[in-house]
Structure 1
Amino acid sequence: MATIWKEKLKKKLIEQYGNKKANALIKEYANIFPHSYMDENSIEVAVNDLAYIEKLSAANPLEVDFYCTPEQEYPLHVRLFLWEKPKPLSNILPMLENLGLCTYSESTHTLMLSGKQPIWISDLAVIHEKKPIEIEKLSSLFKEALTNIYFESAENDGFNKLVIDATLAWHEVMVLRAYAKYLHQIHFRYSQAYVEMALVNNSDISRLLVELFKGMHNPHKKNKNANEKIEQEILQMLESVPSLDEDLIIRQILALIKATLRTNYFQPTADKKPKEYLSLKLNSRAIPGLPLPTPLYEIFVYSPQFEGIHLRNTKVARGGIRWSERPEDFRTEVLGLMKAQKVKNAVIVPSGAKGGFVLKKRLTQPSREVLQAEVIRCYKMFISGLLDLTDNIKEKTFIHPKNVVCYDDFDPYLVVAADKGTATFSDIANDIAKSYDFWLGDAFASGGVKGYDHKKIGITARGAWESVKRHFRELNIDPMSTDITVVGIGDMSGDVFGNAMMYSKHIKLIAAFDHRHIFIDPDPDPETSYHERVRLFNLPTSSWADYDEKLISRGGGVFSRQLKSIAINAQMKKALGIEASTLPPNELICAILKAPVQLLFNGGIGTYVKASSESHVEVGDRSNDYCRVNGEDLRCQVVGEGGNLGFTQLGRVEFALKGGLINTDFIDNSAGVDCSDHEVNLKILLDHQVQTGKLSEKRRDKLLAAVTDEVAELVLRDNYEQAVLMSYSAYRSKSNIILHTNYIKELETLGVLDRKVEFLPDDKKLVERKSVGEGLTRPELAVLVAYSKIYIKNEILNSNLPEDPVLRQIAETAFPPAIVKKYKSEMSEHRLYREIVATQLSNQVVNEMGITFIYRLQMENSATVAEIVRAYVIAARVFATNEVQQLVLSLDFKIQMNEQYHMLYNIRNFLNLATRWFLNSKYIHEDLSTLVNYFSKQIKILEKVTPTLMGGVTKQYLESLTQQFIAIGLPAETASRIATYRAIYSGLNIIEVATQNKFDLIKTAEVYFAVGEQFNLLWFRDQISRDTREGHWNTLSRLTIRDELDFAQRALTVAILKTNKKEKDTEKLIQEWVERNQRALKRWNKLLEQLHSSGSVDYPMFFIAMRELITLVGVKPADLIETL
């Protein structure tokens, strides 16, 4: 029988292929068919099977036939030809089911090829659950889909029903699946199964959705009218959809398609096949229902192997890419990190961005190496997916990605960084960027072999210590010379914790923990323990288990977190302030967090402190639910946040309200991102020199390495200044509570800030704070610091201020001195020059002048931010206040902090007045360089002579103030300079009077100061300054009176100088004027006597006095400006 079957096979093959090919096929395959196969299959089927068998190989291990046999009860068949052993039937049946096919029977045959290579043929009789199948129309689509599902290039889910129901190719289905996956990440209320059902039930609309997507993004067929027609057709068809839920689902997917700015869908692989991942760039602010805060752009990369998201707050934004282990809500995790990155990045050029990806491939108990290989594989695809949609720059020309239709402007800035799970991936990312010929080169991912090694430099920990030292400064403790007790989160192998615990030799580390061990040393010897920590830091992949137990004090030890319980001895009880005799590891960790120590330093991963008002679910870190405590229960004095998200914001606030000293993570650990940004900006500057042939790449690398210490100094200076700002703001917070309340409202009105998102107190709570004498806490002030810098930076960028040549010096402060010296002339050609200027300016303004400086001046005269910053630059340059502030700050631990801050207040109050003077002057829009040079020259002259021109009460006051400053430790020259600021401010009025009237400058100053003495104007100004009534209108009233007083003194000066231009004796000149104005002067003196005797002066009295003084001048108030 077998012989007859083979003869028939040969005859059929000859009929179909001719003798030559038929004989070759018979020779190769005649004996491969087992009897079971011959019994079940006709000759025609065998001939057809051989066509598929011939195609099989190790490189092509699967072929699929989809055919119909009308004469059978179940005529529809799926036939699989496999080079490798087939997957279990239990795996294959769900694939067919998800394609809409029910399986009724199955048979499998094993055929042995020559060379003992087995192949398998599996035939499945199926039926479609809805309608008859048009084989000719669907065969190719079905085969392709099943092949990709079988090899996991496409997911096995209900979306695959659309292959048959909507006549879609597998990669077209992938588009809809990707959008559905994204919907899950934004907490869309419908499950994936429901979304699948909605699209399958409305398969005609689903096909149109894909047509719209392809029509929008096909670079070879751009037809806006056709796309609009498709959209209208979809909307019309939706009117007939009976289910409201299905209607909402489809409309949401339609909204996502319309919000898609770019996709790599039309970028095939080298062999012209669809890529194994799909990238979608979305306009986040066009997507309804997104959780807050809303990014500007996001790129969602979908693949059956992984999913990833990259969120950006602005076009120029940067942040790390992490391997997330939260597949259900990784976008939520990344969104929280982007929000934190946004405020952290307030100190640097780019705003906040963050990326994360999750693995989807199931690995059965993988080794560390296998898991790492999969992470790297998916990371590479994710980075490629981002670069697929990112513009490039070549020779100053912007280039869109190939085969990408762009619905947004040019967008070439994409910078990534290492993060959790990707700490060593910078070189991988840079290699990928190089393969794309990306303009940033190895600046794309900071760090790596040609970047700054943060662990080696210890930059993040050193930056965090600037905050820690500032906190201890408020306690009058120098942790660099005084022993301090510490508990911590982390281990010595970590960058942040390891470097932080080596920063001072006076650390007494009582306890610490990581995910593996708990370390306790109840009474450590600072020097011994310091050296052991250094040893562990230098020991590759060390853990607390490697700590030499002989060096641990009595009662201490290292304990595994896998133990059921840990015995608590007397020494541990005393050190941790607890009474329990045994504790499970998680409860012992809670005790460590609540230990009565001076410093709690977080250098680990996880959220360990929340507010008592928050649930663990709200925290969103399930793995640490059992070792998390409330902020109100902490007993440490100071918290240093070297790690991210160790506290919830409300947890910080709760700790701060009970007197704890804490900033935020984005303040404390900003040095890492700051260092990376310096690296990127340096590389952009130097790479331009490489591209133009002025610098070799080897020399560039040496230059980068040579300025490492200078870069670190720049970064740490940023941390120091921001730490001072936080401390100074807290020092002033109670008195500024109303101002801060109004400022928060203003930022909300401008759309800059969302109070709820940032956990800032509402008006009711702020009123309660004021009633008990409390202001905003440091964590809350930190939010205002960040948003103030962001707002000011953006407003500067929206003006022409960065183009002013005077501000080139500002840009230079962002680079190491050695680089500035060598490439000073090239600075303005930097690709991010404007952004660098805006960043440095916004930092300087807020750090030196405080959170509400710009807001207060805006409320006074409605000036733009750029105008105020311009006026500030003039004032700061003219009076060189930055130098004086630095002198005062250099006195840390040499003078009391309150006295130091009081002097800073005097300097900043003076600079505020000077800024306001220039802002209100007619000079504000004149050439910046000319203004600064002219007024600087005149002020220097006046600074030399002013002390000799003071007399009477004024001279006594200034001498007394100078002596006070000297007595508290200020150098005599600095003390005199700060004390005379009040008088030097008058120099602006003097210069204007002299300039406008062509008077001699020194003579004008003599008369101006003499007028102040003669008419007791110093006392009058003091009365205005002593008025502390709060509120916007009270502030404006004081300012108005001060302005009119200045105008009056200037007018009196002009009037007196014009009395007798030949008279050189100032005293005689004034006396001559007095004699001519006896009556008016008498009224003024009488009014002053009444004011003196009244005990207190209110606004009506002020305004009456000003009216009298203006009458004395002899001009109408409205004429004063013209007169001067």
Structure 2
Amino acid sequence: MENSWKDQLDQALIKQLGTKKGKQLAKKYLPALSMSYCEQHTVEEAIADLVQIDKLSPDNPLAIVFYESPRGEHPLHITLYRYGSSIPLSDILPMIENMGLRTYTERPYRIAIDPNQFIWIGDFNVSYAHSHLFTLDQVKDIFNEALIKIHVGDCENDGFNKLVLGAGLSWREITIIRAYAKYMQQIGFRFSQQYIEKTIAAYAVIAKKLIQLFYLKFGLKQNTASKDKMADLALEIQADIDAITSLDEDHIIRYFWSLIKATLRTNYFQLDSHGEPKKYLSLKLHTTKVPDLPPGQPLYEIFVYSTQFEGIHLRSAKVARGGIRWSDRPEDFRTEILGLMKAQKVKNSVIVPSGAKGGFILKKSLNLLDREQIKQEVTHCYQSFIRGLLDLTDNFENDRVISPPKTVCYDDADPYLVVAADKGTATFSDIANAISKEFKFWLGDAFASGGSAGYDHKKMGITARGAWESIKRHFRELDINIEQQDFTVVGVGDMSGDVFGNGLTYTPHGLLLAAFDHRHIFLDPNPDGRKSFEERQRLFNLPTSSWEDFNPQLISKGGGIYKRSSKSIAITPEVKKILAITDNSLTPNELIRAILKAPVDLLFNGGIGTYVKASTESHADVGDKTNEFCRINGNELRCKIVGEGGNLGFTQLGRIEYALEGGLINTDSIDNSAGVNCSDHEVNIKILLNKEINQGTLTEKKRNQLLTKMTEEVAQLVLQDNYNQALVLGFSAMNSLSYSGLYQTYIKELETVADLDRSVEFLPDDKHLLERKAASQGLTRPELSIIMAYTKIYITGELLKSDLPDDPYFATILDTGFPSLLIKSYANAMQAHRLRREIIATQLSNQIVNSMGITFMYRMQIETGQPVADIARAYTIAAKAYQIDDLHQLIDSLNYKVTVQTQYELLHHVRQLMNLATRWFLHHRRLEGDIAKNIAHYSQSISKLEKSIPDLMAGVTKEYLDKIVTQFVGIGLSEKAAKKIAATRAMYTVLNVVEVATQNKFDLGRTAEVYFKVGSTFSLVWFRDQIGNDSREGHWNSLARLSLRDELDNLQRRLTIVILMNDQKKLESDKLIAYWFAKNSFIQQRWEKLMEMLLSSSSIDYTIFFIALRELSTLITVE
């Protein structure tokens, strides 16, 4: 029978395929066909099998045929042809079942072509519950392709594949549905993937319409007809969803529709270099249009889906930057990345871009891979993720924004995408920049900072140096000069690390008593400062060093180096003393907790992990399970200062708890911001110079030489920001209790205008602020750090909305963001910088807050009702006119010469002047026209009158000025510096003098003499003193004081004008006023009576003040 059947097959092959092809197949395969195969197949079925088999090869090992057979109870069959080895049933059956089929039988066959070459055939008899809804010809091709793609791993094996037969969707079309579902899981969608799969399969007709909608929205043939079709289809989908009776199923299907509507771009229609669809799907979403998300979401996000990885990139603004990390949280990596994006937003408040963050997870199990294989898998997925982001990012071509190829965009131009190294991707900057080059992306190697042609943060030590600016500020407040005085330190980290290594080689005066990392614990209870410092330097320069490399001969008595894997560690008397403990032995985790609690001057964190939380938090709240057994509470710390060179060493509540106990601490986003700041400078410089390279006026080699040459100046620009921010926080912390009411209203304002969520940022509510005030406690530095960041973010945003960055004058602000070498050589190119507006807004925002404090802008707004941009203009005019930078430099030059408290007092004088001057320029609308001319006009007048002002004062005012000068000289200032600072308040009056002289064409010096004489003669100085001494809190009290001051200024100007108008005989100022009084004796008599009543009053009463000033105004008018 077998031979007869094979003869028939031989003849049929020749007849059907031709003599040559038929004989070829018969010769090759007929001897390999088993008896069971021959018995169970017709000749026609065998020909079909042999045709499929002959297509197989090592490069094409699988074929699938979905067909109908008239034999048997269930006519549907799936035949799998596999070259080399069979497919285990445990693999293939779930794939078939996930496509909605039931399997009844399997008939396996092995065809041995030769001893080393095998073909496996598996024929599966299946059924489909809804087979009447389609014909085989309609679905067999997409079914065969889908099953192959599932098997090779290009398509996931899950219940969404039911849509192949249920909706007639291809595997790629189903990938769209699957990607949205995966995104839904990441945003915390309340239904499981299994339920979503079941629901979408049940509404396959709607699923098909959703895909049609996706094609119409993002298909490449966009025209009026397609838009009309899309609108009509949307109405159909709406009606279909409305007809769903189950609320949960309605929610699921409607959410898919909502996500398609929220999608702005996709790479679905793009092709790779081989002309094939890409193996990953990128979706750019307008997050604010995604339903049901809690507050604090990004502006945009890109979700990249692949069977190998999934990734998310979140941006809080169009211009935003942040690292890309390899996440180990597959279930909720978006939650992790969102938290980091928010932290990055705060950290980035000092630089041009807002916060962004990206992360990806691997789907492949790494358990059986070695280190090199893991590295290759991470690198491959990282590369695909980066490509997925750039697929949806605009580019520049000859200064024209161009959209990505084969991409329909529903948002404005969006060409700014910058990434950075992060956890698991520390060495990937060059990889990212290579992809940037592959895409011909306009940023070039500015795309990922810190690459081989970028700034080496470890070599620069920039992050640690920035942290030390904060630490030095703390030590100054304790009257300790770390350049001259020894201090004790414990630390987290080891000398091979960037931050810890650079941090612990910053000064030889830091006596390191103890430190730990994930491998070792280092103890040196009585170190030789110089020798220990030199040994730390040696370890820092030793590649891949550990604490075990520390020379044990240099460790003091009782110290040592211990493995964290030890069961217990004996505690010597010397270690007991420095850690203030009594235990004779401790486990490594117990010893680490004791080190963290050590009564030292400084705890320096330069490592990885969260080691301090609040007593009100659980370890689960922290989210760092690895370190929970060595973690302590903030109120258990006994160090005086914390320096956070590393990230996330403390929870925010842990910081606040420590600060409320009197500890000096900022936040990690303040202390280690130098790293991200340096990267931003690098990116902005490269944007500038890369344009020169593209124009052929600069070579890449020359650019790299320039970058190297400017390294230290870039570092100084960055460190100045760290210095300034630490100063602002120190000054604000000292005064936060006095301004608690103001902060209370300001936090509410930030919730409205800056998207601040006080619960997310752990800022106290009104009730807790009042409790703090009752306990004589204000806001802490960690809390003020957050408020300062949001203040800068808000100001920058408001400036960008205005035309201020386009004002030619503010081109000078642009210079402050670049090294001097570029200012000299590329001045014109800088003005055409693609981030010109953003740099100007950011630099000016930093200047205002760093100079004037956290609440200045808010106070100006509530006092004047003016917009941020006008306040910024007024501040700029005032600052330049009074040469405030010189005053700040003068105060900074007193570091270690006077106490910090004295410096803060001096700074307060300067700020008072600027408050008054800024308000004056706003009140008198001196913002129009050429700002440079305005500045020149007022600054010349101020310079002319500066020396004479003290001599023009009289009476109590003169006595007060002399007293302040004597006080300042007594605490260490030179007489010149003392006079300059003491006269700041009086210098404000120059603006009124200039106003009177200019408007009336009076002599400036003569006007000043009369103006000051009027102030003393009419007791207006006394009025100002009384108003200044009033400390009553509240918005209305503040506005009342301001109104009274304005009225005083107005009266003094009017009196000066009236008296000078009567100056017919050019009398001396005293005689001139006496002459005027003689002519208007009724005014003098009336005013003297009013003053007598006021002076006899026992308390300040604004009502009486307003009446008195109004009376004087009336008297002048009558005159």
Match of 1:897 in 2: 900
Do the aligned partners of 1:875 and 1:914 also contact (CA within 8 Å) in 2?
A: yes
Structure 2 CA distance for partners of 1:42 and 1:652, relative to 1, 3 Å: same
Residues of 1 paired with 2:71 and 2:433: CA distance?
Answer: 61
Alignment of 1:808 onto 2:789: no
Q: Specify the SS of the correspondent of 1:47.
A: helix
Deviations 1:191-240 (A, max 9, x none): 11111111112111112222212221112245222222222222222233
- Equivalent residue number for residue 220 of structure 2: 219
> Cα distance 1:37–1:558, how it changes in 2: closer, same or farther (>3 A)?
farther
Alignment of 1:280-291 (within 5 A): 280-291=283-294
1:13 aligned to 2:13? yes
Q: CA deviation at 1:129?
A: 5.0
Q: Which amino acid aligns with 2:178?
A: R
Q: Does 1:228 align with 2:231?
A: yes
Residue matched to 2:1087: 1084
CA gap 1:580/1:245 in 2 versus in 1, 3 angstroms: farther
Where 2:948 maps in the other structure, the secondary structure is helix
User: Matched residues in 2 for 1:408 and 1:83: separation?
Assistant: 48
Q: 1:106 to 1:316 in 2, by over 3 A?
A: same
Structure 2 match to 1:979: 982
Deviation at 1:95, TM superposition (A): 1.5
Q: Residue in 1 aligned with 2:182?
A: 181
Residue equivalent to 1:152: 153
User: Which range moved further: 701-710 or 742-751?
Assistant: 742-751
Q: Which residue of structure 2 lines up, in the alignment, with residue 844 of structure 1?
A: 847
Q: Out of 644-653 and 304-313, give the one that drifted further.
A: 644-653
Q: 1:321 is matched with which residue: 320, 324, 338?
A: 324
Q: CA deviation at 1:504?
A: 1.6
- Normalised to the residue count of structure 1, the TM-score between the two structures is 0.97
Q: 1:126 to 1:588 in 2, by over 3 A?
A: farther
Alpha-carbon distance change, 558 to 137 in structure 1, aligned in 2, over 3 angstroms: farther
Q: 1:126 to 1:493 in 2, by over 3 A?
A: farther
CA shift, 1:245, in A, is: 1.3
Q: Is 1:859 paired with 2:862?
A: yes
Between 902-911 and 583-592, report the one with greater CA deviation: 583-592
CA distance in 2, matches of 1:98, 1:978: 80
| 1:418-817 alignment runs, 5 A limit | 418-817=421-820
Give the match for residue 125 of structure 1: 125
What SS class does the counterpart of residue 746 from structure 1 fall into? helix
8 Å CA contact 2:522, 2:547 repeated in 1:
yes
Structure-2 residue corresponding to 1:1121: none
Letter of the structure 1 residue corresponding to residue 199 of structure 2: A
2:75 corresponds to 1:72: no
Rounded Cα–Cα distance in structure 2 between residues aligned with 1:123 and 1:507: 76
Residue-by-residue CA offset, 1:541-582 (whole Å, 9 max, x unaligned): 223333333333333333333344444343333333333444
Q: Look up the SS of the partner of 1:1114 in the other structure.
A: helix
Which residue number corresponds to residue 993 of structure 1? 996
Identity fraction in percent: 57
- Between 1:767-776 and 1:228-237, the stretch displaced more is 228-237
Higher deviation after alignment, 627-636 or 391-400 = 627-636
Structure 1 residues 353-362 or 537-546, which shifts more? 537-546
Matched residue SS, 2:770: helix
Aligned to 1:950: 953
8 A contact 1:171–1:274 mirrored in 2: no
Measured in 1, the distance between the counterparts of 2:83 and 2:4 equals 28
Cα distance in 1 for partners of 2:770, 2:687 equals: 49
**CA–CA distance in 1 between the matches of 2:22 and 2:728?**
88
**How far 1:81 sits from its partner (Å)?**
1.7
Structure 1 unpaired stretches of 5+? 1117-1124
SS in 2 for 1:249: helix
Q: Partner of 1:30: helix, strand, or coil?
A: helix
Q: What are structure 2's unaligned runs of at least 5 residues?
A: none
For residues 409-429 of structure 1, what are the alpha-carbon distances to aligned partners after superposition, in whole Å with 9 as ceiling and x for unaligned? 010000000111111101100
CA distance in 2, matches of 1:578, 1:161: 66
Task: Output one character per residue of 1:804-841: Cα deviation in whole Å (capped at 9) or x when no partner.
Answer: 22211111000001111111232211101011110000
CA contact (8 A) 1:598 1:637 kept: yes
| Residues 355-403 of structure 1 deviation map (CA, whole Å, 9 limit, x = unaligned) | 0001111133311111111000000000000000000011110101111
3-state SS, counterpart of residue 682 of structure 1:
helix
Alignment of 1:381-400 (within 5 A): 381-400=384-403
For 2:240 and 2:1107, the matched residues in 1 are separated by 76
**Contact conserved, 2:515 with 2:521, CA < 8 A, in 1?**
yes
Give the SS at the match of 2:826.
helix
How many residues are paired up?
A: 1116
User: TM-score w.r.t. structure 2 length?
Assistant: 0.97
- Cα deviation for residue 1112 of structure 1 reads 4.3
- Which residue type is aligned with residue 652 of structure 1? R
Distance (whole Å) between structure 1 residues aligned to residue 61 and residue 367 of structure 2: 23
2:211 alignment counterpart: 210
Task: Give the Cα separation in 1 of the matches to 2:624 and 2:84.
Answer: 43
**Where does residue 59 of structure 1 map in the other structure?**
59
Q: Does 1:162 align with 2:166?
A: no
**Greater shift in the superposed pair: 710-719 or 883-892:** 883-892
CA displacement, residues 863-908 of structure 1 (integer Å, 9 cap, x when unaligned): 1111111000000010001211121022111101111100000000
Q: Which residue of the partner structure matches residue 1012 of structure 2?
A: 1009
Moved more, 623-632 or 1051-1060: 623-632
Distance across 2 between alignment mates of 1:567 and 1:378: 47
How far is the alpha carbon of 1:842 from its aligned partner?
A: 0.3
Further displaced range: 854-863 or 560-569:
560-569
Report deviation, 1:951: 3.6
The alpha-carbon distance between structure 1 residues 373 and 1077, as it changes in their structure 2 partners (threshold 3 A), is: same
Q: Matched residues in 1 for 2:1090 and 2:528: separation?
A: 71
CA offsets per residue over residues 477-532 of structure 1, 9 Å max, x none? Answer: 12233222222222222211221111121222232222333333333332222222
8 Å contact 1:138–1:164 — kept in the other structure? yes
CA distance in 2, matches of 1:597, 1:198: 61
Does structure 1 retain, via aligned residues, the 8 Å contact 2:84–2:117?
no
CA 1:699–1:1016 in 2, change beyond 3 Å: closer, same or farther?
same
Report the Cα distance in structure 2 between the residues aligned to 1:221 and 1:150, rounded to whole angstroms. 35
1:929 aligns with 2:955: no
Matched, 1:248 2:269: no
Report if aligned partners of 2:568, 2:585 keep a CA contact under 8 Å in 1: yes
1:409 paired to 2:412:
yes
- 2:469 aligned partner, one-letter code: E
Question: 1:1122 maps to what in 2?
Answer: none
> Closer, same or farther in 2 for the Cα pair 1:585/1:69, shift >3 Å?
farther
State the SS of the aligned residue for 1:734: coil
Deviation at 1:3, TM superposition (A): 4.0
- The alignment yields a C-alpha RMSD, in angstroms, of 1.9
Any idea what SS the aligned residue of 2:788 has?
A: helix
Partner of 1:1119 in structure 2?
A: none
* Deviates further, 712-721 or 528-537: 528-537
Tell me if the contact between 1:28 and 1:114 (Cα under 8 Å) persists in the aligned partners.
no
Does the 8 A contact of 2:296 with 2:755 survive in 1?
A: no
Q: Deviations over 1:753-777 (max 9, x none)?
A: 2222211111111111111221111
Residues 40/540 of structure 1: CA separation in 2 closer, same or farther (3 Å cut): farther
Is the 8 Å Cα contact of residues 604 and 645 (structure 2) preserved in structure 1?
A: yes
Structure-1 separation of matches of 2:36 and 2:671:
75
Q: What amino acid maps onto 2:308 in structure 1?
A: Q
- TM-superposed CA distance for 1:473, in Å, is 1.1
- Residue 25 of structure 1 corresponds to which residue in structure 2? 25
d(CA) in 1 for partners of 2:1108, 2:775: 37
Letter in 1 for 2:637: L
Q: Would the aligned equivalents of 2:393 and 2:404 in 1 still touch at CA under 8 Å?
A: yes
Q: Which moved more, 1:602-611 or 1:986-995?
A: 602-611
- 1:1064 CA drift (Å): 4.3
Contact in 1 for aligned 2:678/2:718 (Cα 8 Å): yes
415-424 vs 529-538, which moves further: 529-538
Report the AA paired with residue 276 of structure 2. K
Q: What is the Cα deviation at residue 35 of structure 1? A: 4.0
AA in 1 matched with 2:524: D
Inter-CA distance 741–399: structure 2 relative to 1 (3 Å threshold)? same
Distance of aligned partners of 1:557 and 1:57 in 2 relative to their CA distance in 1, 3 Å threshold: farther
| Distance change in 2, residues 1:120/1:553 (3 Å) | farther
